[in-house]
Amino acid sequence: MLQSKKVLVLDLDDDLPDSLLDACTGQFSFLKLNPDSFVPDQLGGTLAPLIFINFPQIDPEGLRLCNQIRSALSGSTGYILIALPEKSLAVCEHVSTLHCDDFLLKPFSACQLIWRLNLALLNMEQVSSLRQEREFFRQAVMQEEQLSRKLLERQQLLKGSLVSSVRKNQELKTVHRRLQKQATYDVLTGLLNRRSLNDRLELEIAKSLSRHQSLCGLMIDIDYFKSVNDSFGHQAGDMVLSELGKLMHRYLRRHDHAGRYGGEEFFIVLPDSVLEDSLAIAGRIRTAIAETDLDWQGHTITVTVSIGLAEYSVKETMAQWINHIDVALYRAKDKGRNRICYFSDDQLLDYSSNPEATSAQR
């Protein structure tokens, strides 16, 4: 259990028997505060306190005390449980005005008190866990800011209402799935982001080694992409990146993976694919991109891509493999762009979409 089982007790009615608290000490430890010397502001430095207040009745002074304690707990996952006489039932129907999280009607048993305290701990753990998840994803994903605000609003809503545990868990799972998707995919292109792409590369290399299957990778770079931004603006450049991401998906097999490597560069992982088949896939992608006209505010934008490709070898590391692909890509750009170059048997070769020409090169 993440939260402490220590409970701060403020007995304002002076009718809370020690025997009742003693019956709960098997699960909780209680620290009685002196009502005469108690100062709410001293709770500001307390770590996630659980406070149990025994009221003789609810009056303006009691409301002010609850409000002061709630203000002192601002920013923490503190929890306030109050006990009221049964005659205060009408007041309890508007518990949100009491600035507390839950209440008990007197008289109550030790079993009832234990049950409510355990419910309070569960609530505090869920709020604390939710905050930790939000912080983790905020650091991992820059695009998470909008979702983080929604998450914070949901936290505040959950903390301020008595929502059932089942409903809270369902909402947490929904947010978690959304954040996982945000942490995995590039928002602009819909492809894997750089971190997820690296994870996929490591996984596919391990599978290739264990299953003795071929593995190819290709890197795609948009030719003269800066001129698109300079001529039509960065929003037009974003549109080009987004459309090319969709186009690549249409030419990949079910078990292939495409990701945004950085800027205008993309990386495609082709598991269980020999060099010849991978070159054919790269050729279809290059041709499709070159033949696609993109409309931007009445202007037609046409781009081409340069592609570098290499088959993974068991003798090399992932970094060496990617470096071979990168070298092949720069060879394609040096040779005039809008073409494919690949590594084979430690040689840099040019690829032609004509199978006979390719066979002659090899």
Q: Which residues are catalytic?
A: 264
Residues 6+ apart with CB under 8 A from 304: 222, 223, 286, 289, 290, 337, 338
Please list the residues that pair with 50 across neighbouring strands: 7, 79
Nearest to 218 by CA among 241, 189, 195, 251: 251
Angle between helices 194-211 and 318-334 (to 10 degrees): 110
- For 175, what's the count of Cα atoms within 13 Å in the CB-facing half-sphere? 23
3-state secondary structure 3-46: CCCEEEEEECCCCCCHHHHHCCCCCCEEEEECCCCCCHHHHHHC
Whose tokens are 């983080």? That residue is 148
Terminal Cα distance for the chain, rounded: 64
Helix (H, G, I), strand (E, B) or coil at 122: helix
3-state secondary structure 174-209: HHHHHHHHHHHECCCCCCECHHHHHHHHHHHHHHHH
Residues 6+ apart with CB under 8 A from 248: 191, 220, 258, 266, 268, 285
